[in-house]
């Protein structure tokens, strides 16, 4: 069987698209983890001695087929998504040319397979080197003034993503990719954060970009990006400044688990840096700078989006209601907590991290955090989450909160890790 599968590999380069599709569809079944003949995709990758591993023909073919017509490109993306869990393939799938195509393809609003491309990018950024590459990556962009999409990533052209007609004039500008990906992520939803239904601007929902952001924020450089003041419009350096984290925090209440989970993890990872607590918690009516920078931007105002997934329909006294952020006051009787215990756990960990600074402890106390977590604790059924809520409750006086890696804490079970 393996010999027969190997005979299909040369047909991935056949001039006839139907032949390419048939060959790829037969190989696709061997790409998931645990497939009996998955090794055919890794054969020849291992280097010997000081010799670096070389890219094999089949991996090169799959990368090229991502640019093919719809049926072929779909299976090529699926194959690479399945195979990208292997550390052997990460260097070849994150090399500059393919990474630039992958990001450019996701950025193009007309890309039919942008969700699969986002899944692939999510898998790749589970490794540190692609995260570092993505943080520094710039992609060539042409501005479009007479289109629903204001930009055209020139390297996104493929069988499933054609160029605009007429082709925009001018010279492409190299623009930092990550701010553009954040804007694409926001545009991918069909319901905006306020709950109003709106026409989606893109063919892909791009939920998996949330996982990309979470992966990137596990590193100090990634956290710094999300809490560094930069122009709201990546194409206009003169636009007002904003923290990138502020653009995504509203999705902690989104219906898609991947989207809200990735955003929750990004927020938690950013909270590991005590210097950014004021920027994370301050309202957007207040300009805040993150030391050592003196460049300020409106606060992220993240507290409502941390507390909403933990809040239920409990009635509070008027005095307690007035402490809360406006988004949590007088919640309806139909309000439900996040059904995913892992995400509730993440939000409690974020609150614990924010308690590690005196300013953060005071802010949480003054804005009714205890009132919300008291109700959450009464209804919590998962022991691990309940134990962390108990730590937060006992810190209501906020004299000290110990977090692994920040203050003395010998109990490894209580440590909070980047995710």
Q: Considering the entire predicted model, what is its pTM?
A: 0.92
Local mean pLDDT, 10-residue blocks, the chain (419 residues): 92 96 97 93 68 81 97 98 93 96 97 98 97 98 80 96 89 97 91 53 94 97 96 95 97 96 98 96 96 93 97 88 90 94 97 92 92 92 94 64 44 55
Q: Is the peptide bond before 292 cis (omega within 30 degrees of 0)?
A: yes
In Å, what is the CA distance from 178 to each residue of 143, 245, 269?
17, 12, 17
How far is Cα 220 from Cα 319, in angstroms, rounded to an integer?
A: 40
What 3-state class would DSSP assign to 197?
strand
Let me know if 381 is exposed, middle or buried by CB neighbors in 10 A (0-12, 13-18, 19+).
exposed
Helix (H) or strand (E) segment spanning residue 287: strand 287-289
Provide Rg for the chain, Cα atoms. Answer: 24
Rounded distance between C-alpha atoms, residue 105 and residue 97, angstroms: 12
Q: Which residue has the tokens 């409502």?
A: 304
| Bond preceding residue 166 cis, omega within 30 of 0 | yes
Q: Evaluate whether 12 touches 41 at the Cβ level (below 8 Å).
A: no
Tell me the β-bridge partners of 175: 139
Token pair for 349: 């960990």
CB 264 within 8 A of CB 252: yes
CA distance 301 to 183: 19
Check residue 193 and give its pLDDT: 47
């Amino acid at each position: 069987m393996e010999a027969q599968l190997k005979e299909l590999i040369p047909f991935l380069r056949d001039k006839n698209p139907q032949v390419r599709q048939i060959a790829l569809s037969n190989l696709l079944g061997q790409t998931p983890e645990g497939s009996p003949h998955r090794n055919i995709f890794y054969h020849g990758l291992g280097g010997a001695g000081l010799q670096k591993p070389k890219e094999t023909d089949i991996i090169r073919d799959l990368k090229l087929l991502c640019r093919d017509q719809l049926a072929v490109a779909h299976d090529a993306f699926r194959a690479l998504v399945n195979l990208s869990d292997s550390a052997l393939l990460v260097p070849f799938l994150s090399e500059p040319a393919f990474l630039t195509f992958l990001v450019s393809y996701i950025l193009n609003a007309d890309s039919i397979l942008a969700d699969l491309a986002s899944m692939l990018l999510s898998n790749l950024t589970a490794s540190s080197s692609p995260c570092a590459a993505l943080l520094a990556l710039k992609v060539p962009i042409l501005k479009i003034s007479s289109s629903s999409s204001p930009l055209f990533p020139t390297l996104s052209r493929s069988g499933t993503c054609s160029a605009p007609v007429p082709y925009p004039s001018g010279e492409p500008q190299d623009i930092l990719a990550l701010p553009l990906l954040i804007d694409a992520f926001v545009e991918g939803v069909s319901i905006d954060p306020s709950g109003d239904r709106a026409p989606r601007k893109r063919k892909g929902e791009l939920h998996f970009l949330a996982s990309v952001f979470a992966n990137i924020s596990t590193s100090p450089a990634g956290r710094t990006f999300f809490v560094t003041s930069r122009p709201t419009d990546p194409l206009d350096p003169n636009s007002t400044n904003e923290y990138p984290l502020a653009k995504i925090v509203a999705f902690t209440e989104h219906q898609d688990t991947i989207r809200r989970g990735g955003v929750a993890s990004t927020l938690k990872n950013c909270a590991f840096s005590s210097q950014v607590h004021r920027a994370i918690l301050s309202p957007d009516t207040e300009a805040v700078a993150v030391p050592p920078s003196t460049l300020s931007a409106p606060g992220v105002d993240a507290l409502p989006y941390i507390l909403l997934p933990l809040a239920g329909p409990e009635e509070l006294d008027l005095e307690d209601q007035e402490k809360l952020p406006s988004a949590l006051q007088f919640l309806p009787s139909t309000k439900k907590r996040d059904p995913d215990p892992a995400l509730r756990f993440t939000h409690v960990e974020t609150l614990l991290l924010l308690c590690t600074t005196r300013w953060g402890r005071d802010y949480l106390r003054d804005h009714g955090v205890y009132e919300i977590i008291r109700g959450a604790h009464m209804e919590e059924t998962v022991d691990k989450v309940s134990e962390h809520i108990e730590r937060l409750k006992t810190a209501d006086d906020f004299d000290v909160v110990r977090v692994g890696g920040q203050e003395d804490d010998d109990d490894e079970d209580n440590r909070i890790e980047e995710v």
